[in-house]
């Protein structure tokens, strides 16, 4: 049986299976809006993105329209 | 001329070419054009735009961020219009600013149209957003590197319809260009088959050489190539890297199959020793540029093929730009360092790459072998992650960084165990290799059957073929080439093998493999 190994994440000691990789245990960035999967991203996910101080936000709205109906 | 990493301003009046990974294209179709959908949608993608001397190429690979917006992201949405919430756009802009991508792509749909055109509302919206990018976003990146890397931002707008799309680069205040929009002239989805995307104002591509010759060409092909197939071939631009024994056959075959445009790249001159295998070579041609001579011969065929000769090494900036600008690349090369280079170019610029090679085994039981492989960027494995051993990776990379070793490998030619006869008459073998490649390339364009990614022929052991049905090897998630280079365009360096003059005093090569 494979040995378990201790690791420290943000000061917290955790014991994991030896074959586990960091990507298996780190929490996923659930708030990220960047995805290559094509999943729909909801409004609240965008709302949670922290806007840095001094960020030049876009003040005008985005309007698209076919106008052919 | 040089290939620019980014232009000083994010706009070029060069023809715009849009290349989209097959899975991205499928996601757009499912999201924007789902059956029964009756409202407009908007999505975004982050991409790399590359300004080349005669075109601007935007690559959206299968691993690029693609942001599909849920219904609650909109203030209002109807069959013919939509308005995005400001907080959604600004959250997205923060993420884009942080990224290394230089092209923000907005995609919306006119689900009610077949081949859509931008509306007046779209025009106004694109210009308004572009003013924000030029007047506030780009200056912010320049003054606040903590928010994101300083770079010119390309603003690409796409509208999808049921049977095609329209796309344009947007930039306000470009008096030098006299226009705010640079429309796309080419668009294609990159999968295991050639999928050109219909743009408005795009007339059908038809061969337009001497009428009698073109009619004869059509009559001979119509039994197995439909009108649509012939139109696709006529609309194709194929870059031929290497115009030697194999490349000269390939170039002529492409023209005779009805390919509309060829870019022939080779810096070599025809030698007396080449006449045993160089297609159409004559004694009086010795000393002439192979690419130039081949171009002249193909024009003289009268089939209307547009031919450009680039009489430079494939690693030169002009050759790189010419090959990156082609729809498909074909390799008729004699060394694996060049194949390694074209594999990278294929991945970075999303250009499907077809390659063939030959080998003679002379020790013991004589054998004549040919081998074919193809790379469909993002869809299939590449040269670096293919399940079949296509080359000696370690030796090739060593040679890439070591000019002396590269010279030694090239001197060995393609006759194993007897390098002193490095260039025998392999004309029949070249014909065989070219025939295999051409069959698969036409198959790729027409979709007759699953396209092969690898095949090999041995005079002694027969023919083996691995195609997308019996060997559907995907792009390797852990492949250092596929995972790192896909759709990166000119944002990643694309250096050829190290040259003797570039090697430093301590023997180090500055190039990246």
pLDDT digits (tens, 9 = 90+) for B36-66: 999 999 999 999 999 999 899 999 999 999 9
- Strands B74-77, A62-65: pairing is unpaired
Of A40, A67, A69, the CB nearest to B68: A40
Quick check: B101 and B111 in contact, CB under 8 A? no
Q: Measured between beta carbons, which residues in chain A are less than 8 angstroms from residue B149?
A: none
Q: What is the pLDDT of residues A31-55, one digit of tens each?
A: 466 666 678 899 999 998 999 999 9
Q: How many Cα atoms within 13 Å fall on the side-chain side of residue B211?
A: 0
Distance CA B444, CA B330 (A): 13
DSSP state of B391: S
CA distance A67 to chain B (A): 5
Whole-Å CA distances, B429 to B248, B278, B405, B454, B467: 13, 12, 27, 17, 22
Beta-sheet strands, E only, within A1-69: 4-9, 12-17, 40-41, 62-65
For B413: left if phi > 0, alpha if psi spans -120 to 50, otherwise beta; the answer is left
pLDDT, position A21: 62
Spatial distance between the Cα atoms of B474 and B25, rounded to a whole number of angstroms? 17
pTM of structure: 0.89
Per cent of chain B over pLDDT 90 is 72
What is the rounded average pLDDT of the residues B356-369? 87
Query: Within 10 Å of residue B325's Cβ, how many Cβ atoms?
Result: 23
Q: Quick check: B131 pLDDT over 80? A: yes
The token duo for B111 is: 């689900």
B86/A66 CB distance under 8 A: no
What DSSP assignment string belongs to B183-250?
EEEEEEEESSSEEEPP-TT-PPP---S-HHHHHHHHHHHTTTS-HHHHHHHHH-EEEEE--SHHHHHH
d(CA B118, CA B103): 19
- Confidence band of B426 (pLDDT split at 50, 70, 90): confident
Using the Cβ of B257 and the Cβ atoms of chain A, whether some distance falls under 8 Å is answered with no
In this prediction, residue B222 carries a pLDDT of: 80
Name the minimum distance, in Å, from the CA of A21 to any CA of chain B.
14
**Which range is least confidently modeled, B3-12, B419-428, B447-456, B481-490?**
B3-12
Asked if A35 and A41 count as a contact pair (C-beta separation under 8 A), the reply is yes
* Angstrom distance (rounded) from CA B28 to CA B30: 5
For residue A69, the model assigns a pLDDT of 45
**How much is the pLDDT for B2?**
41
What is the rounded CA–CA span in Å between residue B502 and residue B499? 5
Beta bridge partners of B82: A64, B77
B70, B129, B137: residue with CB nearest A41: B70
List the single range of B206-210, B293-297, B361-365 with lowest mean pLDDT: B206-210
Residue B421 above 80 pLDDT? Answer: no
Q: Which residue has the higher pLDDT, A16 or B303?
A: B303
Residue to mutate among B42, B44, B90, with most A CBs inside 10 A, is B90
Is residue B391 scored above 70 in pLDDT?
yes
Kindly list the residues from chain B whose CB atom is less than 8 angstroms away from the CB atom of residue A45. 91
Are the Cβ atoms of B42 and A62 closer than 8 angstroms? yes
- Tell me if A68 and B90 make a contact (CB, 8 A cut-off): no
- pLDDT for res B239: 98
CA-CA distance, B63 to B143, in Å (whole number)?
30
C-alpha separations of B5 from B2, B141, B150, B352 in Å: 9, 17, 13, 22
Return d(Cα B344, Cα B490) in angstroms, integer: 11
DSSP label of B164:
-
**Is the confidence metric ipTM above 0.85 for this complex?**
no
């Amino acid at each position: 049986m494979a040995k378990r190994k201790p690791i420290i994440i943000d000061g917290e000691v955790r014991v994991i299976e030896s074959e586990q990789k960091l990507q298996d245990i780190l929490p996923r960035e659930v708030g990220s809006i960047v995805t290559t999967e094509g999943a729909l991203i909801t409004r609240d996910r965008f709302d949670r993105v922290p806007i840095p101080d001094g960020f030049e936000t876009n003040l005008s709205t985005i309007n698209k329209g076919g106008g052919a109906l | 001329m040089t290939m620019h990493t980014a232009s000083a301003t994010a706009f070029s009046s060069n023809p715009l070419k849009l290349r989209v990974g097959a899975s991205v294209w499928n996601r757009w179709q499912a999201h924007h054009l789902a059956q029964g959908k009756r409202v407009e949608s908007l999505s975004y993608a982050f991409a790399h735009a590359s300004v080349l001397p005669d075109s601007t190429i935007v690559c959206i690979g299968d691993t690029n961020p693609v942001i599909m917006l849920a219904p609650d992201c909109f203030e209002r949405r109807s069959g013919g219009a939509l308005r995005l919430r400001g907080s959604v756009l600004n959250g997205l802009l923060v993420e884009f600013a942080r990224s290394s991508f230089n092209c923000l792509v907005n995609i919306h749909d006119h689900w009610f149209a077949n081949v859509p055109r931008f509306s007046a509302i779209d025009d106004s919206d694109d210009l308004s957003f572009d003013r924000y990018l030029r007047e506030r976003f780009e200056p912010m990146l320049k003054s606040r590197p903590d928010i994101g890397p300083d770079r010119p931002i390309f603003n690409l707008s796409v509208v999808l319809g049921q049977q095609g799309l329209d796309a344009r680069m947007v930039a306000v205040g470009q008096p030098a260009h006299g226009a705010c929009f640079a429309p796309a002239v080419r668009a294609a989805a990159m999968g295991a088959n050639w999928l050109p995307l219909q743009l408005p104002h795009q007339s059908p591509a038809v061969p337009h050489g001497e009428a009698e010759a073109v009619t004869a060409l059509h009559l001979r092909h119509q039994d197995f190539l439909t009108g649509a197939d012939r139109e696709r071939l006529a609309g194709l631009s194929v870059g031929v890297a290497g115009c030697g024994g194999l490349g000269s056959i390939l170039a002529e075959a492409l023209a005779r199959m009805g390919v509309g445009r060829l870019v022939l790249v080779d810096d070599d001159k025809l030698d007396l020793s080449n006449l045993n295998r160089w297609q159409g070579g004559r004694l009086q041609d010795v000393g002439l540029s192979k690419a130039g001579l081949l171009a002249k011969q193909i024009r003289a065929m009268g089939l209307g093929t547009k031919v450009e000769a680039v009489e430079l090494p494939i690693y030169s900036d002009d050759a790189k730009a010419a090959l990156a600008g082609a729809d498909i690349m074909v390799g008729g090369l004699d060394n694996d360092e060049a194949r390694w280079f074209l594999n990278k170019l294929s991945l970075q610029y999303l250009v499907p790459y077809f390659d063939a090679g030959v080998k003679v085994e002379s020790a013991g039981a004589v054998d004549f072998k040919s081998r074919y492989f193809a790379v469909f960027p993002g869809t299939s494995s590449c040269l670096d992650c293919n399940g079949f051993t296509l080359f000696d990776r370690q030796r090739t990379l060593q040679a890439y960084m070591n000019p002396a070793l590269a010279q030694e490998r090239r001197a060995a030619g393609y006759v194993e165990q007897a390098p002193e006869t490095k260039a025998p008459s392999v004309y029949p073998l070249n014909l065989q290799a070219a025939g295999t490649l051409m069959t698969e390339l036409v198959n790729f364009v027409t979709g007759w059957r699953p396209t092969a990614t690898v095949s090999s022929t041995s005079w002694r052991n027969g023919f083996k073929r691995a195609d997308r049905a019996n060997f559907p090897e995907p792009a390797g998630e852990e492949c250092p080439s596929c995972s790192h280079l896909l759709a990166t365009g000119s944002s990643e360096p694309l250096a050829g093998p190290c040259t003797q003059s570039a090697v430093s005093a301590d023997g180090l090569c500055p190039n990246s493999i």
